[in-house]
Structure 1
Amino acid sequence: MFVGRSAQLARLGGLLRHVRDDGDAKPGKALLIRGRRRVGKSRLVEEFVEHIDVPHLFFAATGRPVRDELRLFAEEVVASDLPGAAVFDGVELASWDAAFRLLASALPDDGSVVVLDEVPYLIAADDGFEGTLQRAFDRELARKRVLLIGIGSDLAMMEALNEYGRPFHQRATEMVVPPLTPAEVAEILDLPAADAFDAQLITGGLPLICNEWPAGMPLMDYLDQALRDPTSALLVSGERSLAAEFPSDAQPRTVLAAIGSGERTFTNIGRAAGNTPQASLNRSLAILLAKRIVAADEPLSTKSGARDKRYRIADPYLRFWLSFLGPHLDEIERGRGDRVHARIRNSWTSWRGRAIEPTIRDALERLVPTVILDEYDAPGVVGGYWTRTNNPEIDIVVGDRTPNTKRIIALGSIKWLENAPFDRHDLGALQAHRTQLPGAAVDAPLIAVARSGCTVVGVTHFTPEELITAY
């Protein structure tokens, strides 16, 4: 079942209409689509091409040598509904330049779609692929009524394709396919707001996992069901993503596992990763940051916090998988998913309390301009604050910019517990933290994000129901 993505489908439809109706001498258009692995990019485009009334070609690269990719490309063209597909029958392609020239001759005059999936594989296998694609687009494809779509999961590489100095610069528009939002998860799974935020921590908003979660089923019941099936999308998506990201380089994956286990500082990550030498650790972290698998956070205040940088897994699903599933796949395969389930149940409250923070900060950053920032001439950025000793550690800091804000606009606390509201004790702790936050005024507004309500006055309280309206 295909879920969500109405905005992205509408945009794809609009681009195709421009291609078919554009009176320009070069009506062809290019679109580069990027997003995290298994977020549903290919499925989105498959859904789009299945419901359009123009011929299309969908080629997914495999990471094989160039000769093999060219053979597979020719086979896909022959199997497609392009009117001139027969010109590829029995042809042995010598280069991508020849493939694209022949492709142009196979395209119709009244509109078509050509999809190149896993573009980073093609670039990695052929150093000249970008230049070849640029020449083919400028000389042949842009003169056809064709929408050329390139898809890739290597976020850094896909962003770079359209940058200044690269062959394809300014030739393509871009689309980012994000994970499903908490609001979309709530709608798909028929869950109340608080439970939808929790489900987001497990699924990461990946459609494949959401599709196998029965609507209305409580979180722990779904986990019990999924952990009984070694082929569940919840289990296999993490391993497949990591295998694709790190097919041969084991060290970044070792560092990733250390961060996934809960380590956040440079020193502790290196120690947990087998006392990795500093140079190797820096290299691995650079790779993980470039791939957007790991995020590096700095404390938000009027004082520089670069020396207190903390690392975390950027993808909620992968964070959950690395914490609870990946290290124990052997147990699940032996039929002892019950042990993994018990481990999750026992650690869930404490793990969730930390894991939910980036999601809540994202929701607040969408909401605070209209809630508490009317008197401030700033869009508002939301982060957190901590010291090396975690005294204090403040969940929410709203400033005018990041990482070194000029002005603290508000600060707050997150209390994501089922049966404990934000109370007088929490308010006292937050007021004390306000005096320890560099740059915070003595009357800086206070925010409370509580799953189970708020019993005190003097704070701006956000409920799960209010947070989910951010999406």
Structure 2
Amino acid sequence: MFINRKTELDLLKQCYRSNRAELFVLYGRRRVGKTELLHAFCADKPHIFFIATLSSDSEQLATFSQQVYGFTHAETPSGFTFPSWEAAFQALVDLPMQPKPIVILDEFTYLISGNKAIPSIVQKVWDEKLKNTQVMLVLCGSYIGMMEAEVLSYQAPLYGRRTASTLLQPMDLASSALFFPSYTTDEKFIAWAIIGGMPYYLRTFQDSQDVFANIRQHILDAQRGTLFNEPRFLLMEELREPRNYFSILRSIAQGRTRLSEITQGAGIGNVTTVARYLDILQQLRLITRRVPATETQPEKSKKGIYQIDDHFLRFWFRYVHPNQSSLDLGLADAILQQRIKPDLDHFIALAFEEAAITFTSQLAQAGELNFLPERIGGWWNRDAEIDVLAFNLSEKLALVGECKWTVHPVGVKVLDNLKQKAEILIKNHKIKQVKFALFSRNGFTAELEDRSKDEGIRLFTVDSLVSCL
């Protein structure tokens, strides 16, 4: 089942339709769906789909050579290989160019790990021959830092050769919900809040059983759970000294968000040491440093807090990693009932705020905010915290929002509290005009709905966020 990715597919198709050679760079985290996207793109087109492995450089060359040779020959001699990578890439010039052939080098970073000269070889052959053909060469990799350093950076041999590139992001809420047609809107949101937008994780959950049954079967089962060790394998492959990173991620998942708090919770050195680890985690797109939306120099702000981006990593480090010993003993049911169920709404509340911020951005893109925001995010200081803030610094206009992931309908008290917090924001930043929005899991009281009509308060439910309407 291939869902969405329309924007990325359209970009690939646009490049394919060009009358020139194309060097397309696709990169992104493991499990984000890069390979599936490329399979969907090239399924009905002439292509070579080479997936690099951790085998030796000579074995990689032999495998690639046989695929290239086999593209134009009915039979490939046993043991055939080009004498060098340069010769193998030069052979691409002899491929039939009508229709345009696609050559995909998946897991390109594995090739680089086995042979550091690969980017320079590709650059040489591209400059001398391939750029004058009709070939579409796609370089795809999962190590974001290596792809940026070895392929995209100014110092990289291939700098300036790519004709297009995409950092593939996890699927958004609306797309993720499509994996669960039998779930209610509430269940779709809960599933996304737990496993996020990674297609591999989304395919693992089944909407033939409820969310808790999926958690029990696929995440908490130490023997058979498909996702039980997934973050461990992911991080051990990506990182040196994974133990220290585990401690940091667990500290953040447990609610420590400031540098000093994370350092104390992780117990692995001083703030300078932890700051270096946090910087690497940010480069890997695993965590984000957030600052209030009103900050004019975010990188210098002392109000920064850290947050795990990936929902499943957030869930795993909050509930699985701290309970590893109990889960190994087969106590998954107890962990589910005593540790997860009582705390899950609190956990999901953060994802609800994230979804509301994203939804507000979508409203802005659709021109439905009545002003042009320069920044959208959250806001906080020592006296107050606002979940959603869309802010125009120069015109001093704002929309402020409150999110409530509760089983009860939101009432007027929530609106009054939001207005009190907005007064602090208005005073601190001299805002001229403020609009209000409320985001609720389970709707609104009749009294609040009446006031919203009179005062122009915008009301949104989880259905609005999931459907993007």
TM-score tier, shorter chain, comes to: 0.7 to 0.9
- The answer to whether the Cα contact below 8 Å between 1:162 and 1:171 also exists between their aligned partners in 2 is no
How do 1:320-335 residues align onto structure 2 when only pairs under 5 Å count? 320-335=315-330
Are 2:152 and 1:162 equivalent residues in the alignment?
Answer: yes
Structure 2 residues not aligned, in runs of 5+: none
Q: Are 2:402 and 2:418, in contact at CA under 8 Å, matched by a contact in 1?
A: yes
- 1:382 to 2:372 alignment: no
Displacement of 1:186 in angstroms is 2.0
Amino acid in the other structure paired with 1:4 = N
Which secondary structure does the structure 2 equivalent of 1:396 belong to? strand
Alpha-carbon spacing, 1:98–1:363, altered in 2? closer, same or farther (3 Å): same
Q: In 2, distance between residues paired with 1:140 and 1:304?
A: 46
Aligned equivalents of 2:303 and 2:7: distance in 1? Answer: 39
Please give the root-mean-square deviation of Cα atoms over the aligned residues, in Å. 2.9
Amino acid at match of 1:186: A
Which whole-Å CA distance do the structure 2 matches of 1:244 and 1:413 have between them? 39
Deviation, 1:407, is: 2.8
Give 1:427's match in structure 2, choosing from 415, 421, 439.
Answer: 415
Q: Could you say which residue in structure 1 is the equivalent of 2:311?
A: 316
Unaligned runs of 5+ in 1: none
Partner amino acid, structure 2, of 1:201: A
Q: Which residue of 1 aligns with 2:468?
A: 470
Correspondence 1:356 to 2:352: yes
Aligned to 2:176: 185
CA shift for structure 1 position 127: 4.0
Among 116, 131, 148, which residue is 2:120 paired with?
Answer: 131
CA–CA separation in structure 2 for the residues paired with 1:386 and 1:40? 35
CA contact (8 A) 1:74 1:89 kept: no
Aligned length: 450
Cα deviation for residue 414 of structure 1 reads: 0.6
Q: Which deviates more, 245-254 or 424-433?
A: 245-254
Please state whether the residue corresponding to 2:178 is helix, strand or coil. Answer: helix
Asked if 1:283 is matched to 2:281, the reply is no
Q: CA deviation at 1:237?
A: 2.9
The residue aligned with 1:367 is: 363
CA contact (8 A) 1:364 1:470 kept: no
> Which residue number corresponds to residue 56 of structure 1?
48
1:41 equivalenced with 2:34 (yes/no): yes
Return the alpha-carbon distance in structure 2 between the equivalents of residues 82 and 292 of structure 1. Answer: 37
Residues 1:265 and 2:253 aligned together: no
Taking only the aligned residue pairs, the percentage that are identical comes to 25
Cα distance in 2 for partners of 1:104, 1:416 equals 58
The whole-number CA distance in structure 2 between the counterparts of 1:290 and 1:10 is 27
Q: Are 1:78 and 1:85, in contact at CA under 8 Å, matched by a contact in 2?
A: no
Pairwise mapping of residues 67-466 of structure 1 onto structure 2 (< 5 A)?
68-78=56-66, 81-83=70-72, 90=79, 96-105=85-94, 107-110=95-98, 111-160=100-149, 161-172=151-162, 173-190=164-181, 191-215=183-207, 217-226=209-218, 227-228=220-221, 230-248=223-241, 250-301=243-294, 306-342=301-337, 343-370=339-366, 372-374=368-370, 376=371, 378-387=372-381, 389=382, 391-400=383-392, 407-417=396-406, 419-437=407-425, 438-439=428-429, 441=431, 444-455=434-445, 456=448, 457=451, 458=455, 459-466=457-464
Secondary structure of 2:102 counterpart: strand
Q: Is this contact kept in 2: 1:130–1:168, CA < 8 A?
A: yes
Q: Which amino acid aligns with 1:384?
A: G
Q: CA deviation at 1:94?
A: 6.8
- Give the secondary-structure state (helix, strand or coil) at the position aligned to 2:390: strand
CA drift of 1:46 comes to: 2.8
Q: Matches of 1:332 and 1:11 in 2, distance apart? A: 44
| Aligned-partner Cα distance in 2 for 1:314–1:407 | 30
- Quote the residue 2:3 is aligned against: 3
Q: What is the Cα deviation at residue 122 of structure 1? A: 3.3
Aligned residue identity for 1:291: L
Deviations 1:180-199 (A, max 9, x none): 22112222201343332221
Offset, 1:164: 4.0
Deviation at 1:138, TM superposition (A): 1.8
Equivalent position SS for 2:123: helix
Letter paired with 2:312: Y
Distance of aligned partners of 1:225 and 1:127 in 2 relative to their CA distance in 1, 3 Å threshold: closer
Where 2:419 maps in the other structure, the secondary structure is helix
Closer, same or farther in 2 for the Cα pair 1:364/1:72, shift >3 Å? same
Residue deviations 1:424-451 (CA, integer Å, cap 9, x gap): 2211211110111122547511111111
Cα offset for 1:119?
A: 2.3
Whole-Å Cα distance in 2 between the matches of residues 440 and 461 of structure 1?
Answer: 25
Superposed displacement of residue 415, structure 1 = 0.5
Q: Secondary structure at the match of 1:444?
A: strand
Letter of the aligned partner of 2:291 in structure 1?
A: E
SS state of the match for residue 434, structure 2? coil
Contact 2:236 2:242 in 1 (8 A): no
Shift in Å, 1:303: 7.3
Inter-partner Cα distance in structure 2 for 1:379 and 1:290: 27
In the alignment, the residues of structure 1 paired with residue 344 and residue 8 of structure 2 have an alpha-carbon distance, to the nearest angstrom, of 34
Query: Following the alignment from structure 2 to structure 1, what is the Cα–Cα distance between the partners of residues 83 and 332?
Result: 50
TM-score when normalising by structure 2:
0.86
2: distance between equivalents of 1:174 and 1:465? 33
> Could you tell me how far 1:103 is from its partner in structure 2?
5.0
Contact 2:376–2:388 at 8 Å: present in 1 too?
yes
Structure 2 CA distance, aligned partners of 1:396 and 1:6?
A: 28
Shift of 1:56: 1.3
